[in-house]
Amino acid sequence: MNDRHTMEERELLDLLKEYPVPEAEAGFYDRAVVRAVHKGSRRQRNRWMLAGFGSAIAAGLAIWAITAMLMTTPQLPDAEPTIPGVTIAMEQEHTVRLVFASAEALDSATLTVSLPEGIELAGFPGQREITWETSLQEGKNLLPLTLIALTPAGGELLARLEHKDRNRTFRLRVDVS
């Protein structure tokens, strides 16, 4: 290994060692614990109910009513799809960027953005659904959407991409502060 190589390696390692990470926001850990205890308790209850159900079957008890109830119990938290979210301020423009990854170049794809009540797309006042015809490149395609909140309600934004008989829908939770 020559001197230059060694020096570069040392410089690189020093840089990597100092490479910073922002600290957690004040109060974030406490809030995370509160949410975990609340949601984790629900999960524990679900697990105990399921465990109880198993024991009952083993004991040969006929508990059809409980079975039916368990079948309709909401899914455990793990099974809930994660919807990404953004928080935007009232009456201020906020740009979110969606990335559409495409395995191939696509001509004449249709993109439809559906907005929750009280959220508008800059340049499209009063419209809850906007549709474009667009072409996608192979790889990543970036779509910036500038949102404006007119009411504090928030809701879910849907972006649906269609091409021939295929389609994908992206959901984004929009909260208003």
Interacting residues toward another protein by CB under 8 A: 5, 8-9, 11-13, 15-24, 28-29, 32-33, 35-41, 43-44, 47, 77-78, 82, 84, 86, 96-102, 142, 159, 161, 168-170, 172
- Tell me the C-alpha distance between 90 and 96, whole Å: 15
User: To the nearest whole angstrom, how small is the minimum distance from the Cβ of residue 45 to another protein?
Assistant: 10
Q: Nearest Cα to 77, choosing from 45, 108, 101?
A: 45
Classify residue 134 as left (phi > 0), alpha (psi -120 to 50) or beta. Answer: beta
Closest CB to another protein among 24 and 59? 24
Both tokens of 53, joined, read 């159900």
Instruction: Tell me the closest approach of the beta carbon of residue 23 to another protein, in angstroms.
Output: 8
Distance in Å, CB of 110 to another protein, minimum:
14
**Helix-helix angle 64-71:28-58, to 10 degrees:** 150
For residues 146 and 119, give the distance between their C-alpha atoms in angstroms, rounded to a whole number: 10
Q: Which CB atom, from 8 or from 67, has the smaller least distance to another protein?
A: 8
| SS3 (DSSP) at 69 | helix
Q: CB of 55: closest distance to another protein in angstroms? A: 16
Question: Nearer to another protein by C-beta: 100 or 148?
Answer: 100
| 3-state secondary structure (DSSP) of residue 163 | strand
Nearer CB in complex with another protein: 36/61: 36
